[in-house]
Chains A and B, each alone.
Chain A
């Protein structure tokens, strides 16, 4: 079974300082992992994805994440926070195939609310 644990429900940083959002996963097989961002009243947007290629994944808006199999972690980082980064972030794992097809079910973590202080 697949599951995701986001270790912090709220993270607060000052503008211009680094961001670290932590995520641990559990999966029986080699998973695909994602980070999505959700701004108020907007749809979930894919930030980046890991699908068994390079372990360091670069995404949009300067975010990146590193897949560490030994630690079952997929933490999201950004060197310098911007006010526009304030949003809810979700770590997501995809392993389970749906029925007999190739579509896969996404399992979301409970989210981390990022606040950026001026």
Chain B
């Protein structure tokens, strides 16, 4: 079946540009997570949505980062005025929200952002 998809897969931005990264979760998955993976590191939590509600944004590194999920399905992560330190792979994950499945997250292939 269809998994989590992300677009674009690769994005090159000049410093100062705004970028928008898209995530299509698995159909029916209530929970949606964004992670940032710097080169040579493990993914780090950015933010979490339950349906359209953003319940946790404690991992967003600055107010230049903004995420939304207006209809409870597709999500967009926006980065304003990109900086070189924003260069990373941005991963999206989704999961069901039942007692058994709350721990299992399904990851997309990621968007590799390079800021020049």
Q: What residues make up the interface of A, taking CB atoms closer than 8 Å to B? A: 4, 32, 34, 36, 41-46, 49, 51, 90, 92, 94, 98-111
Contacts and interface: CB of A to CB of B under 8 A. Distances in A.
A108 B42 contact: yes
28 contacts: A4-B42, A32-B103, A42-B109, A43-B106, A44-B43, A44-B107, A49-B104, A94-B103, A98-B48, A98-B56, A99-B56, A101-B50, A101-B55, A102-B97, A102-B99, A103-B31, A103-B50, A103-B55, A103-B102, A104-B102, A104-B103, A105-B48, A106-B45, A108-B42, A108-B44, A110-B40, A110-B41, A110-B42
A45 B97 CA distance: 19
A92 B55 CA distance: 21
A111 B102 CA distance: 23
A111 B43 CA distance: 9
Interface string B22-42: 000000000101000000111
Contacts of B43: 44, 90, 106, 108
B85 to A, nearest CB: 18
A43 B56 contact: no
Nearest to A50: B103
Contact of B109 (A43, A49, A51, A104): A43
A100 B102 CA distance: 14
B42 A103 contact: no
Contacts of A42: 109
B31 to A, nearest CB: 5
B42 A109 contact: yes
A49 B103 contact: yes
Interface residues of B, number: 28
B3 A105 contact: no
Contacts of A43: 3-4, 91, 106-110
A32 B102 CA distance: 11
A110 B39 CA distance: 10
Nearest to B47: A98
Contacts of A111: 40-42
Nearest to A92: B42
Contact of B97 (A44, A90, A101, A105): A101
